[in-house]
Structure 1
Amino acid sequence: MSQCQLALVRDAVATYKAIRPDLARGLPFWPLGLPGWTDEWLALGMRTPDDRTSYVLVWRRGCDPELGLPVGHLAGREVSADILHPSSVSPGSAVWSRGGLRVSLPCTPAVLLVRLVA
């Protein structure tokens, strides 16, 4: 692996260790529904039982560089959106509006892990 790839792996492991307690008690949700084999965008979410913190992992495999993700249990609430991975040089952006999460990933393939806190 290159130094850049090793840095991404180290970042991913550190991020996992930081959020592991929330994941252990988290409840899954699929903002885009269950994924299909050829879907251009995939999204998996985990929310804590109190619905205050959620994590959304978004993959772009092709198609449009921006996507709106509905997050029903947080709809209409004030929410902060923070990109957790990759943390050093993010390949995109994530912005919350009362209608949901708007993700931008200009290149493919690409992934973002976003923490949403209400």
Structure 2
Amino acid sequence: MTDHRDDGLEERRKRLSAELADRKADDVAEAKRDAQSEESRKGMALGFKLSSEFISAVAVGAILGFMLDRFAGTAPWGMIVLLLLGFCAGVLNVLRSVGKVAPSPLITGQSGKDEKGNGGR
């Protein structure tokens, strides 16, 4: 009777070990999917941030150019010049956000002076 009971326990232990291994494999696969979806969300967030920065800079340039043309009577030169400046500002903002261009000293709080207060770098 003890042998039969030991055989049943051994068989049950093996079955439970197999189920645990399956669950661990499922957990690992789920963690991998979660990590991939997190990367995807980060990429989408960065894409929306960059596109909104670029579009807002161009829109602000266009609106300011339109207002300048409207009040100063310089049509269409104010719109053309400020739209191009807005485009350049948008590209610069995107490059700064990505890290390809160093942030401006005004943003980082640096004044361009060394430790002694001199203007040299």
**Which structure is higher in RCO with an 8 Å CA cutoff and minimum separation 6?**
1
Give the TM-score normalised by the residue count of structure 2: 0.26
Give the TM-score normalised by the residue count of structure 1: 0.27
Say which structure is richer in strand.
Answer: 1
